[in-house]
Structure 1
Amino acid sequence: IAEIEVANGQPIYTTKGDANNAPDQKQVSAKEVIGRVLLDVPFLGYAVAAAKKPWGFMLLIAVPALLVIYEEAHKIWQEIKKSKTKKLDDEKMDSGINSE
């Protein structure tokens, strides 16, 4: 909605598509409106526009993805180390039992 006017006590909307530079030629009355706004996220459009640029893609997509990959790799590495330590401890206990 580009503009709201009041005629005969009723709102009249001037609409404009997001890919158009000029408003639509026909105005829309409140009776012709099918949808309604359920959620408004301020400045979300700026983030979407930034994500379309290389630096924006890096900040919004690649960096968080790399952080997730790093965290998962770190968890896997910790489990491998824990497994090796447990295996060595088990071998020490087994060798201690066999030597008696």
Structure 2
Amino acid sequence: MPDIYDALAAPARRAILDALAERADQTLFELVNRLSTDPATALTRQAVSQHLQVLEEAGLVERRRQGRYVLHTLTPEPLRAIARRWLTDPQEQS
């Protein structure tokens, strides 16, 4: 299983996660169009697809088919696990 930190390392993947956090259930076409509005994250369809695959393998994105569309949704649980592990008050652990 790929490391979640490796998945989060690329700015393009973080931009994809930001787009999915703003609105769930987006198709690849919608994500490519959304990312193309910012020159810093303008990616080809193939690049977005490859980044989505890495995010899916890390458990950060869920893909599901609805009719003829494939929808992508952010799965925040791995991020919550990191926050629980690293952003806890040391007083609470005692």
Same fold (TM over 0.5): no
Normalising by the residue count of structure 2, what TM-score does the alignment of the two structures yield?
Answer: 0.31
Q: Identify which of structures 1 and 2 has the higher relative contact order when contacts are C-alpha pairs closer than 8 Å and 6+ apart.
A: 2
